[in-house]
Structure 1
Amino acid sequence: MLIGLEIKNFAIVSNLSTEWHNGMTAITGETGAGKSIAIDALSLCLGERADAGAVRPGTDRAEICAQFDISQLPLAQHFLEQHLLSNSEGECLLRRVICKNGRSKSYINGSSVTAAQLKEIGQYLISIHGQHAHQHLLKAEHQLHLLDAYAGHNQLLADVKERFKAYQALIKEFNQLEQQQQQQAAQKQLLEYQVAELDEFALQPGEFEEIEAEHHKLSHSQTILESCQRELQHLYESDEQSACSLLQHSAQQFTELASYDESLSSIASLLSEAAVQVEEASREIRSYVDVTDLDPARLDEVETRLTGAMDLARKHHIKPEELVEFHQSIAEELASISYNSDRLVALESEINNALEQYKQAAKLLSESRHKYADTLNQLISDSMANLSMENGRFAIDIQQTSDKAPSAMGFDTVSFLVSTNPGQPLQALSKVASGGELSRISLAIQVIIAQRVTTPTLIFDEVDVGISGPTASAVGKLLRQLGKSTQVICVTHLPQVASSGHQQFFVAKEIANGETYTQMNKLSKEGRIDEIARLLAGDNISKMARANAKELISAHA
């Protein structure tokens, strides 16, 4: 439970230190004094979002410390042990520092933590019910949460969520495998077309280089033949002087000259050899010209083959020389594609089994919800009667729709129904209850559920707005009764509710040196009488008002 709260430089609070006790604590004060300031500070200390506006003007930072006794709270102890934040005193100290630039720091037992960790441990320490809690009551998901909280469905919900996750995982695997096979089918179709096209073209290893060279030759064959014939004339067949005849003539001349000078014989030999070489070259040229014909059809054939290869290469964004290797690789890829149909069939069976297990877990949860809904219906109807709704009836409608997709919360759809007048049929809360009635119904539900949910400290922030008279007295009795089993802190403006508290704080606003300060002080017995009298009669407290205040307080003693 909460045992201490210190607030520094928060909003209009300069410095505030309070001690808290068992039972029901009422917080009252003048309008605008900041009765909810302690609760707002606690919310920040429990991890709520902070901003620079929380820092008191003229100061650098706000600081809030909340001290809890967790000696009887095993869940809170486990959290601290799990995160290595325990101390040996059975206490837990939460601290939040908010700087004027909007940044904040969080601490648990002196160790730096995240705001999320503050929020996580906060669920084991305090439950805050604000004055707008009844608005959440109109939402179907919140109604379902309240029913499960009252019934203590933690294990059943965990079972349903576990089965749901297993079912979802199988569905995901099935969808992925099916999508993969669809993609493979599309890929196979593409590869089949590509391989068939390349098979039909049937380019052989090294063929492209060969036809490229042949095309180059054939496209220049006319020029080659004409040049060969011309040069043959020059070398050997000219009627005038050919190169061969000139060499032969020169060789003959140097042979004759060598008879006079032996050193010229080598020249004669060289010229003779040259003549022989020219004659041999001429015979080869003649042979080449004789066997080479101009073949336009072959040129067209080679050109078509070469163009086809280049077109295929461009189509696949590769070089023509790489076509054969590419053909082989996609043929192998096509051969490697196989469909895992067996796994799809197995998955269908596993999905059906997982769905059946999910349905069984969801059925157990639904059966328990119906059981506890019957109990809640009677308790809340009785509580409505105590809150001046004598003819009120409350019912929780639980529906199961066969076509509803599985979810982590089961198959149930929950709706809170109410009838506030005799003869009026049960209808949804939003259609029947007025604002005041909805506030009372909400309070009744919160108190009843709080008796089952083991949160050690319950805070009610002006949840009694819109009620008065006998109803206010009933609310006070309800909260005081709840205070016997758990710590209850209630911000109120009603004397009937305030007088029900085991102790009471008074919040006042003061102005000094042009600055506003809020103070919260625990009231003595006489102080409580004066404050209850003020709530009854206003600032002009009469003897009768004080007598009424004494009577209200004594009624709960």
Structure 2
Amino acid sequence: MLIELTIRQFAIIDELTVQFEKGLTVLTGETGAGKSIIIDAIGLLLGGRGSAEYVRHGEKRAEIEGLFIVSDHHPLIKKAEEFGIDAQDSMFILQRNITAQGKSICRINGKLVTLAILREIGQALVDIHGQHEHQSLMQAEKHISMLDGYAAQDLAKTQKEYETLFQQAKQLQKQLLRLSENDQELAQKADLFQYQLDEIDQAKLSPEEDVQLMNERNKLAHGEKLFSLLQDSYLSLYGEGRGLDFINNAVSHLEEAASIDNELKELFESVSNSYYLLEEAAFALRDRVEQIEFDPARLEMIETRLHEIQRLKRKYGETVDEILIYASKVEEELDTILHKDDRLSTLQVELDGIWDDLFVEAKALTTIRKKAARQLTEAIHSELRSLYMEKTKFDVRITEKHPAKHSPIVNGQVIPFSPDGIDAVEFYLTTNPGEPMKPLSKVASGGEISRIMLAIKSIFSDQQGITSVIFDEVDTGVSGRVAQAIAEKIHMISIGSQVLCITHLPQVAAMADSHLYIQKYEEEDRVKTSVKILSVEEKVDEIARMISGVEVTELTREHAKELLQLAKLHKQPA
């Protein structure tokens, strides 16, 4: 859930910190007070499109920061780890700064992230529903994603298999297209590949050859210095009047001393062992000195070889191993071009097989979607009845997409494969008995769209891992008993998720667990916005204002108290 939100220098907001509670929180206030600006700020914090226009006039940047807490096993914690974000104590602190030049700086738990990462994390934390959501409901092409979201668990395995096959088919199509290029271009490519392959083959490279040659060159180039250092080390240890001679003398004296004092025996053995270890080391140094070679011809040959390898590196890779890998790829490409007809035939057979498998998976997706469509239809009918739309009939229609220009033929039929299958999904509706079903976008009014979206959200809220849900004036265009039904529906959603709701309906405000009042005021010739948590008495006054619209009377206050009492009774467990 969203615990705290801080906004600085954003639009008409100077500096604002708001703390949120569990359950349903409503935000009310006069039109233009800044309610939607707060939601806009949250939207930007979740990765929405930024603009310099959001920065308060005369300021350098706008700053938005939000603290979220999720459950210990929330899938977002694993996702954050993949991005290198430390989600300690299951907390997420999202920060976004927008400069006066329109540039964005994004952080999650103090780590700089891209806008894409901020958006991916943010959209898994908060689900914002506003007028734009109504617009998406009116767009038929968005309906398939809504249905798939409802059936996500049942679709997951088949969808993954379909997507894998679809990507394989696309790759094969690219290869076929490349091989279908005109002969002149292919001949030019073949010549280039043959030249590159010959150049690499003539070098007769061996794996890690460059590393081995560099090591050998280093030894040869510093042979004299290495000989001098090892020789001096050996002579310091071995010979008359040298290190080992003195240590041997110490061993002899300690041996005699240990025969007098037994406590010195351990010390004698330690020095004696050290002597033999140093003697072995001296002999090893002597052998090493004898092995050192001075070979200027070998050094020159290595330099020449490294120069040749460096020339190939500039063309084909940073290491010898990378050059050899490149040569292998070129050889494969060349073989494909030289045996183009055979390769085309092989690829086509392989692609045809994948189209067949893809069609099987596509039909399986259709079957799952049709079953989910029936379940979704029943669920939405149930929700619509509770929103006083009992005469409304809703339907999820699944048809086959229209074939595209290059759609393949499978079993004698043109099959319109797409990234999400072959299905076209559209929601149909009729609000009056006896009227035929029509596309939702052509028959639903604003108030009906609000209720349908709320019905869908009520169904989906239990299936998503979203920690917070925001409704931005989704109750537009409704009143009376419908408004009460919407209030009860929003409260029901808040039982399973934290809900923030901007509303003009007194019925929704009365149902709130926490009521925030947004107001605009002037200070030092600047407009500012403040947020106040209303007490019980203040709630009565604000709801009375929402009822009357102008002047609060004793009658409207009594009505407000009645709404609050009814809301309290509704929220009590049955």
TM normalised by structure 2 equals 0.68
- CA contact under 8 A between 2:179 and 2:337: conserved in structure 1? no
1:319 is aligned to none
Does the C-alpha gap of structure 1 residues 184 and 65 become closer, same or farther in structure 2, counting only changes over 3 Å? closer
8 Å contact 2:106–2:113 — kept in the other structure?
Answer: yes
The equivalent position to 1:476 in structure 2, one of 487, 490, 494, is 487
Query: Could you report, residue by residue, the CA deviation over 1:423-482 in whole angstroms, capped at 9, with x for unpaired residues?
Result: 111111122222332232222223322232221111111111111111111111111001
- Partners of 1:163 and 1:354 within 8 A in 2: yes
The equivalences for 1:351-390 within 5 A come to: 351-390=351-390
Q: Work out which of the residue numbers 148, 163, 166 in structure 2 matches 1:164.
A: 166
Q: Which amino acid aligns with 1:476?
A: A
Which is worse superposed, 33-42 or 434-443?
434-443
CA contact (8 A) 1:380 1:444 kept: yes
CA gap 1:87/1:373 in 2 versus in 1, 3 angstroms: closer
3-state DSSP of counterpart to 2:369: helix
Do 2:44 and 2:50's aligned partners in 1 also have CA atoms closer than 8 Å? Answer: yes
Which residue matches 1:63? Answer: 63
Number of aligned residue pairs: give it.
410
Q: Deviations over 1:368-391 (max 9, x none)?
A: 111111111112122223323221
1:549 — aligned with what? 560
How far does residue 513 in structure 1 lie from its aligned partner after superposition? 2.4
Shift of 1:128: 0.8
Distance 1:187 1:135 in 2: 50
The gaps in structure 2 that reach 5 residues or longer are 191-335, 402-412, 569-574
Is residue 494 of structure 2 the alignment partner of residue 492 of structure 1?
no
Which structure has the larger Rg?
A: 1
Structure 2 CA distance for partners of 1:339 and 1:467, relative to 1, 3 Å:
same
- What's the counterpart of residue 3 of structure 1? 3
Match of 2:449 among 427, 438, 453: 438
CA contact (8 A) 1:75 1:124 kept: no
Change in 2 beyond 3 A, CA 1:42/1:82: same
- Secondary structure in 2 matching 1:107: strand
Match of 2:522 among 508, 511, 517: 511
Kept after mapping to 1: 8 A contact 2:447/2:475: no
d(CA) in 2 for partners of 1:364, 1:72: 35
Deviation by residue 1:178-209 (Cα, 9 ceiling, x = unmatched): 33568669999xxxxxxxxxxxxxxxxxxxxx
Change (3 A) 1:506 1:436: same
Letter in 2 for 1:169: Q
Contact 2:95 2:106 in 1 (8 A): yes
Give the drift of 1:412.
Answer: 0.5
Unaligned runs of 5+ in 1: 189-335
**Contact 1:131-1:465 at 8 Å conserved across structures:** no
Q: Residues 487-507 of structure 1, C-alpha deviation per residue, up to 9 Å, x if partnerless? A: 111111111112122211111
Residues 73, 55 of structure 1: alpha-carbon distance in 2 compared, 3 angstrom cutoff: farther
Q: Deviations over 1:9-62 (max 9, x none)?
A: 111111111111211111111111111122111111112222222111232221
Question: Is the 8 Å Cα contact of residues 181 and 339 (structure 1) preserved in structure 2?
Answer: no
**In structure 2, what is the Cα distance between the partners aligned to 1:74 and 1:445?**
23
Q: CA deviation at 1:357?
A: 1.6
- Matched to 1:45, the amino acid is L
**Residue 526 of structure 1: aligned partner:** 537
Cα gap change, 1:338 to 1:553, in 2 (>3 Å):
same
The amino acid of 1:342's aligned partner reads D
CA–CA distance in 2 between the matches of 1:539 and 1:553? 20
Partner of residue 460 from structure 2, selected from 435, 438, 449 = 449
Tell me the SS of whatever aligns to 1:120: helix
Runs of at least 4 residues off by over 4 Å:
180-188, 336-339
Change (3 A) 1:481 1:177: same
Identity of aligned residues (%): 39
Matches within 5 A, 1:96-495: 96-152=96-152, 153-179=155-181, 338-400=338-400, 403-495=414-506
1:537 & 1:463 partners in 2: Cα distance?
21
**CA distance, structure 2, for counterparts of residue 160 and residue 187 of structure 1:** 34
- The offset of 1:397, in angstroms, is 0.3
The answer as to whether partners of 2:510 and 2:567 remain within 8 angstroms in 1 is yes
* Larger deviation, residues 531-540 vs 463-472: 531-540
Q: In 1, distance between residues paired with 2:464 and 2:481?
A: 28
Residue of structure 1 in register with 2:548 after alignment: 537
2-structure distance, mates of 1:371, 1:172: 35
Which segment drifts farther, 528-537 or 428-437?
428-437
Distance 2:495 2:103 in 1: 40
Secondary structure of 1:454 counterpart? coil
Q: Distance in 1 between matches of 2:473 and 2:34?
A: 12
Residue 341 of structure 1 and its aligned partner are, at CA, apart by 2.4
2:85 maps to which residue? 85
SS of the aligned residue for 1:89 comes to helix
Say what the alpha-carbon RMSD is for the aligned residues: 2.2
Structure 1 pair 548/337, CA: closer, same or farther in 2 (3 Å)? closer
